[in-house]
Chains A and B, each alone.
Chain A
């Protein structure tokens, strides 16, 4: 009689919002039977700052410093997309100087590198293996130092702006960035040894956190999650933007669609980003304007229009739906962040049957960025 009662007993558990195993500030409400999750509901909103609404009350140039906050680890994609969307509606997309396009792409790839370094460490960090995330934060610091030199800040760069970028590359920047890349490359084999060749990680990642390929189109999944299923989907190739068509790279795929495969994709994308950055440093025009001079960005008015622009963020498809009404403010901006799909819908669908000890790693491997869910 007692055993019958135990089987039916369901524990309700709040996981987060303050929890080292949760990616950012969000929480998951779990119903457990033993240590197996029966179902779960995500609760977001802890990081809601109303970016989209704020932008409707601020002039275009005043909106520019806000959007970087929509994703803390990878702000540049947001800066790029807002700029791109408004430039497209204003009809000045093609007037952005050549050098600006190269520097923008360089920044986007540096951001991907920094974001991927951080999340890759999280895969094993969530299992309690401390050194890897600590190394990864160090390696990320190399990139942040480069960002600091380029944009004046480490996290919120506020660098890609309407018409181009805000400053030219500093003298000797390419050389110093190359040094940072070399330092990162030097450490990667150690990451392999400690992480990918680690019995604990392999045992807890291979076959865990499986996402069936049928869900891809059903749920509009994107990014490393999809590429870890062997599906070559990458906006940089599928809907090429800025200077990506001129760069030499292949879409990285892995088989398995589990935590391990997603980690492998990210591990290889670090090398890909490094290679892309090197190509850009070598091939970008050596001089020329880095920003379009407009009569006034302060009083910029954009005719009525709307557009959707997208870019491949480290987490997947990042998109901005931008509407203007002829005034000096946006009428509406809707941010399509990959985390909304991955961190809410996909996670809830994956939860039933998952062991609670795998939850953190699963969430990390979906690379959820909560401020992007709750703009």
Chain B
């Protein structure tokens, strides 16, 4: 150590004249970095109020507050952030399924009132609401997998040769993986007509308790294996994860849980209560609505008899849904549990006016769920020719083992699920199949997935084609004549664009069968005209109150007769409503 060590340090004075790197005042001189985690912002239009941000916040800094009426797919809640608790970890942003929540790069906010530091981003306007910078949800880091576990399908070339189920179903690890993607927000419950406890049974599957999942499912759905395979799944349409990614495969998870058990009574408790006091209830029609009413009424102590004209219960899910989607053993399992619950089942028996009158007098209530059995007519020339058949009858005849003859080439007219089912069934019977539909493909009421599956099975789809007439061909067979259509804009809100025939152009298609699948309507003739007029309107449609009761005392109704949605799950919901109504009736309310 020498003089050098005494003098050298003084050279540092030179630095006194350089410009400092640090800034004296952050607010004006230094904006936060582009990915700064500053005050929250929320795109309230995109936010669905799922509350996942509040769930993940370990500091409980986020409360969900009501800002709007809840609607389907939006809880009407928005997150309110308390900055006395927030630690700016931004997990709320990274987890946000809709991607609406973000953070601005603003970080300075001075106020004397501590209460202002708790606000609802996007609702309480702030200066940084429009901030382009700040922390946002980004691809590459996910708190849940935005992509669903793919469902294995049979190969299209192979599957048209067999009746095996097209959808193979999740294996155990696939189901657990898919279930763990769920953020448990519960938006799906409000969208499900039957209000199934979806997040609860998904959590049970996730946690490896499949039996518990089935019990939860059976709380309000006695045909879960059917729903697990063919449900129209309103739940998945509002799934919060579906806003940005792929919705949870709720339907497949329900299918997985119910398929785990061959004998459901080992899992589900069918013990009866005595609320029904032994009153009798007759149920006409064994479809989903009647099935549901029968099951839950039996559990609540009613003496229930269910009648169906076909050899098996299930209604349209039995005769309408092709077996490669919903095989008979699956249906049998559910019917078996219905029997275990103590329901008397009478099949191959058509209830007519006299018997109906007797049932009405003997029973506390009768429930009508006979569905839509009268197919709409094409309204085109030649529709009465032999070889023009209705899809509904075609499907029914096939499934109750009556002989069906369809030839080598078939055209299916229509674009709903029945049309697709008929087309795919015909394909499996060895025919070349074409679907002819009036509107565009996006207008088809059939499930998108089904249309895709049909295509994969080499079903041809001609859209914007209007049937003109059917002609008899020389030497056997038919010719389906159609004209192209152009789409006119919809005539008002809620209406679909209308097809308009382009005059003068005709296309001809030589076929062996024309299968008509343009819808079906109610037919209440069987209950006798007088009763029918009391219960339904002049076309046969029935209106009920909130408890499923019709205008005629003691007659309850549900399913497609009542419900324009015409899917199985809303029929099940009708059944549940009628159960409430009939229990009230037993209580004398």
Contacts and interface: CB of A to CB of B under 8 A. Distances in A.
Interface of A: 58, 61-66, 131, 135, 137-138, 141-142, 145, 148-153, 156, 158, 161, 164-168, 170, 183, 190, 193-194, 197-199, 202-203, 289-291, 293-300
Contacts of A202: 1, 5
A193 B88 contact: no
Contact of B145 (A141, A161, A296): A296
Interface stretch (B32-40, B485-493, B563-571): B32-40
A197 B12 CA distance: 12
Given A198-B5, A290-B140, A298 B94 contact: no
Given A58-B58, A166-B94, A152 B35 contact: yes
B198 to A, nearest CB: 15
A294 B33 contact: no
Contacts of A131: 12, 15
A62 B36 contact: no
Residue of A145, A168, A294 with highest tally of chain B CB at under 10 A? A294
Contacts of B32: 148
Interface residues of B, number: 46
Contacts of B266: none
Contacts of A290: 140-141
B144 interface: yes
13 contacts: A61-B91, A138-B20, A152-B103, A164-B141, A168-B140, A197-B4, A199-B9, A289-B140, A294-B142, A295-B177, A295-B180, A297-B142, A298-B52
Residue of A151, A190, A297 with highest tally of chain B CB at under 10 A? A297
B181 A158 contact: no
A293 B142 contact: yes
B142 to A, nearest CB: 5
Contacts of B180: 295-296, 299-300
Contact of A167 (B11, B141, B145): B141
B206 A193 contact: no
A295 B205 CA distance: 14
A65 B141 contact: no
Residue of A153, A164, A170 with highest tally of chain B CB at under 10 A? A153
Contacts of B58: 58, 62-63, 65-66
A151 B34 CA distance: 10
B9 A153 contact: no
Contact of A193 (B9, B91, B142, B183): B9
B54 to A, nearest CB: 13
B71 interface: no
Given A141-B22, A298-B56, A197 B5 contact: yes
Nearest 6 A/B pairs, CB to CB: A65-B89, A62-B58, A199-B5, A296-B180, A152-B37, A296-B144
Contact of A153 (B5, B36, B206): B36
Contacts of A296: 143-145, 180-182
A293 B8 CA distance: 56
B190 interface: no
Contact of A194 (B12, B34, B56, B145): B12
B6 interface: yes
A170 B135 CA distance: 12
Nearest to B149: A295
A184 to B, nearest CB: 11
Contacts of A298: 52, 55-56, 95, 143-144, 183
A194 to B, nearest CB: 5
B17 interface: no
B1 to A, nearest CB: 5
A149 B15 contact: no
Contacts of A142: 21
Given A62-B58, A198-B8, A294 B145 contact: yes
Given A198-B9, A296-B180, A161 B89 contact: no
A206 to B, nearest CB: 8
A164 B94 CA distance: 15
A152 B1 CA distance: 46
Contacts of A62: 56, 58, 91
A141 B141 contact: no
Given A65-B87, A190-B15, A203-B1, A295 B145 contact: yes
Contacts of B88: 153, 156
